[in-house]
Structure 1
Amino acid sequence: MHWLYLHLPHLFAEHSLPEFRSEQPVIVVTQDGRQVIDINLAAQQAGLEVAMTSETACCLCPAVRVVKYSAATAFQALRHVAVAALAESAWVSPDAPDGLYMEVGSMRRLKGDYAAQIAFLHEFYAQLGYTVHIAQHSRARAARILARQIGPAAADQPDAIIELRNLPVTVLSLSAPMVKRLHKLGLRTLGDLKALDTGELNYRLGTSLDEVDFIFGRRQWLPEPYYAPESFDWSQSFEHDIEQQQALFFPISQGIRTFCQFLRLRCLSAQRLILVLRFRESERHPARNLQINLAEAENSTESWLYMLKMTLERCELPAPVIAASLHAGGSHEAELIPVEQKAAALWEAPADQIRARQTRLLNRLAARLGEHRLLFPRCVHDPRPERQSIYAGSIIQATEAAAITQLSGRTRPLWLTPVTPLAFSSKAMVSEFQIIHGPVQIHTGWWDDEACYRNYYISRLPGGSLCWIFFDKHQQCFSQGLFA
């Protein structure tokens, strides 16, 4: 097998910042905003460098634009690059955050020799707007090192081996203390590590240097292949222009039925489908994107047709419609969700029937009232008890099940009451309260305008019931809950 490695050093910026290629200085900083990790040509000409602090960069060039790095955006960009590469190679493997493996045996038969492949890929990704460094080698890890450290690799394998041996050990994924330790042992290049037994080095240093074996071919390593996500695309041009919403239902319903069949054959479901309407005189009336949303993900034709009808009734047509299309999955916002597999049964369980009726009711409510008016309670991560549950939109899947914080092994009260001040100014005055457990301190909320400092106690009231009280930083006493 033969591999190409594509290193895209400016992947995040070139994907999400159109002005990165402009004459305005632009820098990308880490998520905490402290260090520069990428710069454009204008910033480089202004004297800015990678790895300097953001404060230094702003002082040297006050006109610079500062953008924080987003791992989610970088992931979307890498997925976009990988999907494009699948059109040229059968084996593609993303290497986060900004690299890509490609097996090029099939490409060589189609594109010709190595130079033709490289020229084609440079032109291909230049059209997509990306800067790319490409290297080739018979081993995937070796191609990765060459692309990231040297840029274009040597044309044949013997030259590449010579270059690999001369590379410093800093090209490996090792911590700074481990690199310093290798230098003390006189191991400064990959050739020095190759001359030693990797197993003994791993045992002696307490770390893994298996990457050396992968680079020089003493052990085989293959990247995990990437498969493009399932996607659905349906389109139809109308023989006659359609001017009323009701007349759109029948032709688009054929696409809805095709979509539901597509989902069921792949054991998938969906919660959102994008409907694109194209109008006559497109210069004056650009295409309109409509979202068909369900309250819960499913693949039932009845629910999707009902929601399509409601969506079309609320849509106003600025001009006659000449074509329509449906899109889901792939690079679209409408995600396809795997259906939970269930064992086959002779009849449907009562719980499944109830669940199906609930889903149908929720979808009809969302269609009648609008998906943003249907709310679900869910838990969130917040140490303040009164802020641990919120109402989320119906289209948002309540998958972030946040566990309620435990207090020293004891659960919080069953009934959480509004914070009510009690007629006590200090703990010494609480004579009628019998403290059962506490204090448990909560000092949180520094990120917003409702910071709190509390000491919680479980107390027994004169009647025998248990209540949950706390004292704030001013020693004011409040009650917040009752135990069963």
Structure 2
Amino acid sequence: MMLWAYLYFHQITLDTHEKASLSVGNNSRYDTKNEARHKRTGESANGQHQPGKTQTPAVIVYCEKTNHIVQRNNGALQQGIEIGHGLAQAGALCPQVCIIPFSEEDERLTLVQLAHRLYPFVSDIVIDTHNTLAIRLDNLVHYYGGHKELWSTITHELNLSKVSYHFATAWSIEAARILALNGVDNYECDRDNIKHRLSQCSLSLTALDKKTKEALTRVGIRHVHQLLAMPVHELGRRFDNNTISYLTALRGETFPHVTLFRPAEHFEHFTLLPFDVENTQHLTPFMEKLLGYLAHYLRARNLQTSTLCFQIDFREHPSTQLEIKSALPQSTVDSWLSLLTLRIENEVLPEPAVSITLRCDNFETIEGSNGDFFSNRFNEVAQKQLIGRLNAKLGEECTFQPKVSDTHQFETMSNAEISSSISASTFTSDIVPTFLFDTPKPLTQSTKVCFGPVRLHSEWWHETPRKRDYFIAQTLYGVRMLIFKDEDNQWWAQGLFS
């Protein structure tokens, strides 16, 4: 028998808000400046609750289209606010209530992020609506060694995501949906038990249109078990093809075509801020949370990236794009957080931010190296880390890197400045100095040779061929120079190292 699990996230907007608030509350660096949240929840700035206020702040999710409260937390319930109340009634019951606008698109984005998290463990996922999804289980039981182990793995990931949900299992998505909406919250494999639970559900939980439900109610059919008991020929005479297709799928006689979820090739994570954030300092903990999701995504796929982009959304002002680049590909939260802090410390928000989105399109596979781990590693990594921090602090338009031409003869090299400090170099050598003299200068200072010699010959087609032995020398004042000795045993200075 085909087996589907249906998950109904009945307060996903509220869960997202509380999870974001908790992530800020657990970060002591930002606890002292959350006056906006305190004002909207009825809590004083020093952490003391005002007289007559509930200990749990009242939070509601309001749908402007229907003028109804669609989600509320325990604090709002203690104040007498119920789902279905209007905004005026909720405000009268609790003037300090925190109001979160309802958005189907925001809930859909959150559900897509959750599907990305579940996808490494379950292959067949169907996103049904903005707050429901279905997972096929029968083709996975063999790999997990049993139903208990499979469901334990799924619920573990859901618990880590800190979302509330109702669930049920049945032979089809349509049947499991009715049970989940009814709040069964039971994993069932036996067909007879599923049918028994399904028979107790009301007809209002089905996906039939309003006109069809009214027609069935007029003839006395008010529960699902009455609908399932109707003969097929009776259904064909009374209803259209769409209704017949739904009812046969509900019975498990047919399996409608569904679109399976497939993860995108790029990373994108959206978070709705629990309160309007007025400065970048208060944005940092939310951005750090998004970096945590990115690190989880990269680690699961053995990837790293050198570029990511934050999009900060406002109520009226156009969105702000904040791109961060690293000279060295990164995959951990700490490495990106240091660059992020430098990048945003001087940013000024045009108005309070309401949401943040993190996107990443370019990835690199982490490949093991067979060479010596310590060979030339420190200098290269330290240099790229320094370049990345300078770019994050000053901007790419303010940083430059010397570049030399494709030749090994120092007379024909030129230290040309380039606009991008992350461009690939054309010629690299350990003895190329930072600054080259236009013409060699006689060596008049007392120096000590630190490295060399390196003998360089000019190309054979030059009219005046040269043969020189180059050294790296250090003066008494610690200045390092590139020097050489010509064929006449004369010493010359070619350039300086910074």
TM-score, normalised by the number of residues in structure 2: 0.47
Which protein has the larger Cα radius of gyration, Structure 1 or Structure 2? 2
Structure showing greater relative contact order (alpha-carbon pairs closer than 8 Å, 6 or more residues apart): 2
TM-score, normalised by the number of residues in structure 1: 0.48
